[in-house]
Chains A and B, each alone.
Chain A
Amino acid sequence: QSVLTQPPSVSAAPGQNVTISCSGSSSNIGNNFVSWYQQLPRTAPKFLIYDNNKRPSGIPDRFSGSKSGTSATLGITGLQTGDEADYYCGTWDNSLTVVVFGGGTKLTVL
């Protein structure tokens, strides 16, 4: 059972938009910044979003992040088949004093 809750899977057609939610609490998301990672099959995770809504260099603006209260959301517009991957949110938990990740969301581009 992960501290951060994500939907196990989402799906959409190419060209459509999708959002992935990440729900936490005041001890983690509510008082810390959220990052998002993309893990393509059989590869290491890739840094996608940091500080809730900032993109590292090289990440296309089709990817966006937001945070409200104790929840965060990853948005992907103009879906491409190459976006099929597992997506994870992560942050720090002040009560547990550990880094916490969501359980991951598998994105299928139909």
Chain B
Amino acid sequence: EVQLLESGGGLVQPGGSLRLSCAASGFTFSTYAMSWVRQAPGKGLEWVSISYSGGSSAYYSDSVKGRFTISRDYSKNTVFLHMNSLRPGDTALYYCAKSHRRSYSFDFWGQGALVTVSS
């Protein structure tokens, strides 16, 4: 059974940093791309970043480029989202998502980690 368990969310001041983790199990982690998708309160889904299998390439949305970094620890089957220079507009529930056969199609999602950026 595929499981994705996010952690690391919380309350942070504007300009602060936070690291989200997503522990994956139930599939061959090294084979699939992994993404972060966020959802602001009462809003729709917004894709944030993707890490391709092998870890050689990653892409980011314009809204987080230069501030967020995605990384993977293959020994721990974990994907991370390092978030710097956080803004109130980054407040959202952050989902970890596993790619299906196509990297931009997501077949499993975690339960989400809430990030609140406020002073």
Q: Decide: B35 and A45 in contact? CB cutoff 8 A.
A: no
DSSP class of A's interface residues: helix, strand, loop or mixed? strand
Cβ–Cβ contact B104 & A32, under 8 A: yes
Cβ-neighbour of A91 out of B60, B104, B111 (below 8 A): B104
Cα separation A99 to B101 with both chains bound (whole Å): 15
Q: Which of these binds chain A: B14-22, B44-52, B73-81?
A: B44-52
Proximity string of chain A (15-49) to chain B, C-beta cutoff 8 Å, 1 when within and 0 when not: 00000000000000000110101010000111100
Q: Which of A68-76, A77-85, A100-108 contacts B (4 or more CB under 8 A)?
A: A100-108
Which of A32, A50, A86 counts the most B-chain CB atoms under 10 A from its CB?
A: A50
Q: A100 to B110: give the CA distance in the assembly, Å.
A: 19
- Asked if B67 CB lies within 8 Å of chain A CBs, one says no
| Smallest beta-carbon distance A41→chain B, Å | 12
Asked whether A50 lies within 8 Å of B95 as measured between CB atoms, the reply is no
Is A110 part of the binding interface, using a Cβ–Cβ cutoff of 8 Å? Answer: no
Give the contact-size bracket for chain A.
Answer: 20 to 34
Instruction: Contact check, B45 vs A45: say whether CB atoms are below 8 A apart.
Output: yes
> Which residues of the other chain, B, contact A39 by a CB distance below 8 angstroms?
45
Residues 30-73 (chain B) with a chain A CB within 8 angstroms: 35, 37, 44-47, 50, 59-62
With A44-B109, A92-B102, A103-B44 already in contact, 13 other A-B pairs whose C-beta atoms are closer than 8 Å = A33-B102, A35-B105, A37-B106, A39-B45, A44-B111, A47-B109, A51-B101, A51-B102, A86-B44, A98-B59, A98-B60, A99-B50, A101-B45
User: Could you list which residues of chain B lie within 8 angstroms of chain A, going by C-beta atoms?
Assistant: 35, 37, 44-47, 50, 59-62, 95, 100-112
